[in-house]
Structure formats: C-alpha cells, structure tokens
Structure 1
Amino acid sequence: MTNTTRPKIVVLGGGTGMPVLLRGLKDYPIDLSTIVTVADDGGSTGQLREMIETPAPGDIRNVIASLANVDQELYELFQHRFNVSNGLSGHSLGNIVLIAMSSITGNFYEAVKEVSVMFNVKGNIYPIVNEAVTLHAEMEDGTIVSGESKIPMKNKKIKRVFLTPDHLTPMPNVVEAILDADLVVISPGSLYTSILPNLIIKDVVDALNQTTAKTVYVCNIMTQPGETNDFSAADHVKAIYNHIGRNSIDSIIVHNQPIAKNLLIEYEKQNASPVTYNLSSLKQLGLEVYEEDIIDHNHPMIRHNTEKLAKIIFQMASDKIKKY
C-alpha cells in the first residue's frame, strides 16, 4: 500500500444506513470507494428485476444520491418516486435512469459509472457483482426463505444467508479496493439483508482477511424486527463471524447514551429496541471498541449522526496511515 496524505476508505453496505454515513464522509479529504449490495428485490427495484434481469438498482441509486454534488432540484428529480395510477406508480426515477443507462451501455457497472459522472459523485461506487442475484436465508427451523424483502417478514430466527447463483465473482475493483484500503467500514444497516450479502462472497472474504486495512463495523442503534430481534452488539458481530470467520473485524463503533423515551415509543410498537452492548464481551471477540454518542438528536426518528460518524471514521483512517 502506498502511503498518501489522503486516507483510502472503503465502505461496504446497503439499505438506508449506508447513505447516512456517506453524506458526512464525502466532505473529507479522502479517497472514497463504496461497495453496494444488489440483492434488493422489494418495491420499485423488485418490479424492475422481474421485468429485466438486472442487478438491483435501489441501493446503488441511494448511494449515488448521497455522494452527488448537484443542485437540490436535480437531486430531488433523481430521487423522485411516482405516485400515479399507472405502471409508473411506486417507481423511482433514479432506478429507471440506471436501468435505461444499463440498456444503453450494455453493462450495469458501466451504467453506474456514467450516472455517477452525470451527478458529479465523490468517490467510486461499485456494485458488489455485475449480475442479478437472489438472497436466501436458512432459518433455525431448517426452512429456506428466498428473496431479500421476504426474509424479515417470516419473523423467524435466521441461521445463515446465502446468494444464488453459486460461486459469484465480485467486480475486480471490489477486491482491489479492499486490498488497497487504509480503512474498511462495514456500514450500519439491515444485518442479514443489506450487510452480509456484501461480505459472504468468497473473494470478498479472502480480501478482508488479506488486507492490511483496519476494519470497523458501525453497529446499528436499534434492533430490526424479523432480523435481529433482541440482538446485542456482540450478537451482530457473532453473526458476521459465523458467516465469514472470526477476527474479520478489528473494531466496532457503538452508541453509548440513553435514547429519549418519546423516540422509543413507536419502535416499541414494532418490537424494536436499542442495541445494548457489554464492553468485556466485545473485547473477548477481539474488538477495539469506540463508545460514542452517535445519534442525530435533531432527527424525528432514531438515526446515526452523519457528521459525528464521519469525523470518527476519518480520524481512524488518518491514524492508520500515520503508522506507515
């Protein structure tokens, strides 16, 4: 790895947690690469996948939007979701743009690159693979559930997740980015349906084990019904270890302050609760623990604070390159 004054940060993830993290990071002097899941099959993405055999565009669209440097009108246009009584209803314009560009270029990754240029995106955006994939979950009772959006709906304890087709090969840029990074960040998000689909591909596992980068997991603030019911921070890490091996993570960022009761009421109705942690349990898992107040106290929902997280992550990456 070449020592530079700009830390090389790679963020893996998907769903709604990843864009929150990226919005803060894009303003720092870093070389940023994002690796994004394409296993989503719900909503507009699911409908488009049924019509056209394509990697899921939804999570990619949100990452492009979070890293875009365009005026507000163009941002809102890209993220616009149609609410009409015809075939466009529910579709995001950004998803349609990505599929259209994929048709023009003949390649989904080339489409992502072209749209990223159009929106003056900070950094590189890599779909984890360049083909349509399906996520499956084996439950503790032995049943198999197929489809990212269907897995949480079963509300069963998940034993493992896996992808088809078998023996998937990630984009070459994905492996190169991980191997060349100073810091690899596993973003917050749905553990089994947004985070693990990026991590379980063999070449990615190998790259995570071989890289000299420090790997940090940004733990979720709240549990997710149907995926991580009653999970502690250690349970989140153990689920990752069970899929890709122990010691694949070096450190973890956890929220360490009480959450306002008025914010918790709606979550309690959905059987979601704050993710608790035990410092000694996390250290026994081989982790360096960063305990911080990482909630956005100005948001009406419980969300990570993008500025606080970005500052912590940038400092971690800067400290890493100082050692070289």
Structure 2
Amino acid sequence: MPEHSLQQFSQVVAIGGGHGLGRLLSSLSYLGPKLTGIVTTTDNGGSTGRIRQSEDCIAWGDLRNCINQLVPEPSIGSMLFEYRFPGKGEFSGHNLGNLMLLALDQLSIRPVDAIKLISNMLKVSSQILPMAEQPADLMAICSQGKNYHGEVLVDQMQSFPSQLAISPNVCATPEAIAAIEQAELILLGPGSFLTSIMPPLLLPDLQAALRKSQAKVIFIANLVPELSPADQLGLNQQLNWCEAQMDMQFIDYVILPYGSEPLTDYHMFYADLAETEIVHRHDRDKLSKAIENLVSLF
C-alpha cells in the first residue's frame, strides 16, 4: 500500500450522514481503526422511518450504509446486510441490514454494541458511531412561526429555516465525544446540508467537544446543487449560517470541485472530485487524493 499523508494522524473523524458520508468513509477505508464515522440518526423516511415508528429506536439506515461502505470484501454476510425485500408485502422496501441492527440492538445493552457486533462480523475495522443513542428528530423553525418536525418534512420546506433543533434534547454518544477530543483531523460532508451534516452539530455536548478540539476541520462540498431548501443559499452563506447556529467559527478549509463559485470567508481548495460517468457522485480515489493533497499543505 502506498504511503498516505493521512497516516500521520492517530484519529480522523468524519461527521455526517446519507450516501455522502458512506462515500467519504469508503475513500478513507485504508485508515482502518484510525478512522471514525459519527453518523446522523434522525432520518424518518423509508424503511428506517417505518422501523422507527414501530419500534421507537434510532435511525439505522445511514449507519447501515456507512458500515457496508467499509466492508473490505463481499461476502454472504455483506450481501444479506444490504438485501432489500421486493414485492408488496409487509416486508416490502425494508432493508434486512436495518432489521439486523434493530435485532442486535434489542439483544444488546446499547446501540453502539449492536454496531460493534455487526462490524466485527463484516470485518470492518473503522469505528462507526451513532450521533446519539436515543431516538430524536430534526426540527426546523421558520421565521413565519411554523415548525417542521422530522427530516422528511424539513426536506419539503419551501424556504430556508431560521433555526434547526434536535427534539427531544439528547446527549451525544460518549464515544463520539471522545473521538472528537482525540481527533487530529475532522471532516464534514459531503451530503445534504440540513438533514445529513447539521444534525450531529446541533448536539450541545458535541459542540463543546468541537470548541475544545485542536483538530483542523475540512468541509467537503457537494458536486451539484441540492434539491432541498438548502439550495436557496450559496455555500458561503450555508457555512456562515452553520457557524452562527453553533456560535463558533470552526471550519478551516473547504474542498470544492473545479468551477465552483469562490467563497469569501473560507480557505478554499479546488480539486477534481467527480466520477466520470456519474458526475453528481464523488469518485473515491479522487476524493481521497484531494484530502491527502490538502493535508500535505498543513
């Protein structure tokens, strides 16, 4: 394996959710146990949402996707973990991996234990952590006085919210706090700004850990505009709004695809990031190389 500049770090933490975080973790999988993903657990749509409504649990879908992106080689176990039931029956649309995590959670003391069990079974050496271990939802507060409860409704909003919150108030997972405190590099994104990247950053104890952290923080931009209320603001405004929500300036660098509008308030690093055939998706090798090249400038 070639030498990577990221290998100098004892702990690299990536924060986010959705397919974006899974893509990022996959691109850095060579870091093994030096890599930790802190995953958003507020999704309330699809198979995850149906399980949450029935079982009053955290959202498992993004956690499942991140684990699967880190599986070193395909196996019967990994195929089962990603299997989605077809048809129109009661199981239609459910992902078996979500149900496996739910079952392991019910057999374990903590959700973190369930994730460790499945990670060990699939030979995943990096650490995957839920942002919180108690069920909670994303809530958007609008200037017109109307509130939107749950990620599905937040994504359907017609205007950018004035404020976001987590309801009810939950604590960040202790292991996630420890990972941030020990991190030498923290990565945010790519992904849906309001519903994937922001939720973990809204937890007060996670914010406190970020305030104390000496790690460099890199934000990774999306390749195409979002089909969500986030797209009503440019990236510079989004990041300003994020830091205002957290009452702290903590983003050191932003990795942008070539051709992006320049940012006035942040250090920029342009790179070729897109897959050749699917231009809205980050290429794993290009993304890893961009992070490595930026880190080499520190």
Do the structures match in fold with TM over 0.5?
yes
| TM-fit CA distance, 1:214 | 0.2
In the alignment, which residue of structure 2 is the partner of 1:255? Answer: 257
Deviations 1:243-302 (A, max 9, x none): 112421111111113xxxxxxxxxxxxxxxxxx4224x1xxx2x2211112111232x51
* Distance of aligned partners of 1:29 and 1:146 in 2 relative to their CA distance in 1, 3 Å threshold: closer
Q: Tell me which amino acid in the other structure corresponds to 2:272.
A: D
| TM-fit CA distance, 1:89 | 0.5
Distance 2:167 2:92 in 1: 29
In the alignment, which residue of structure 1 is the partner of 2:3? Answer: none
Q: Does 1:180 align with 2:182?
A: yes
Identity of aligned residues (%): 28
In the alignment, which residue of structure 2 is the partner of 1:124? Answer: 127
Which 5+ residue runs of structure 1 have no aligned equivalent? 258-275
Q: Does 1:17 align with 2:20?
A: yes
* Distance of aligned partners of 1:27 and 1:253 in 2 relative to their CA distance in 1, 3 Å threshold: same
Aligned with residue 83 of structure 1, among 76, 80, 86: 86
Q: Contact 1:179–1:211 (CA<8 Å) still a contact in 2?
A: yes
| TM-fit CA distance, 1:6 | 4.4
Distance 1:227 1:74 in 2: 38
* Distance of aligned partners of 1:31 and 1:319 in 2 relative to their CA distance in 1, 3 Å threshold: farther
Corresponding residue SS for 1:217: strand
In the alignment, which residue of structure 2 is the partner of 1:262? Answer: none
Q: Contact 1:138–1:159 (CA<8 Å) still a contact in 2?
A: yes
Q: Contact 1:8–1:317 (CA<8 Å) still a contact in 2?
A: no
In the alignment, which residue of structure 2 is the partner of 1:260? Answer: none
Distance 1:289 1:229 in 2: 20
Q: Does 1:139 align with 2:142?
A: yes
Aligned counterparts, 1:203-222, within 5 A: 203-222=205-224
Aligned counterparts, 1:190-229, within 5 A: 190-229=192-231
Q: Tell me which amino acid in the other structure corresponds to 1:211.
A: S
* Distance of aligned partners of 1:29 and 1:169 in 2 relative to their CA distance in 1, 3 Å threshold: closer
| TM-fit CA distance, 1:103 | 1.0
| TM-fit CA distance, 1:158 | 1.6
Aligned length: 292
Distance 1:318 1:172 in 2: 31
Runs of 4+ residues over 3 Å off in structure 1: 4-7, 314-320
Q: Tell me which amino acid in the other structure corresponds to 2:243.
A: Y
Aligned counterparts, 1:1-324, within 5 A: 5-28=8-31, 31-166=34-169, 168-257=170-259, 276-279=260-263, 281=264, 285=265, 287-299=266-278, 301-317=279-295
Task: State the TM-score, normalizing by the size of structure 1.
Answer: 0.85
Distance 1:182 1:102 in 2: 31
Worse-superposed segment, 105-114 or 228-237 = 228-237
| TM-fit CA distance, 1:156 | 2.3
Corresponding residue SS for 1:27: helix
Which 5+ residue runs of structure 2 have no aligned equivalent? 1-6
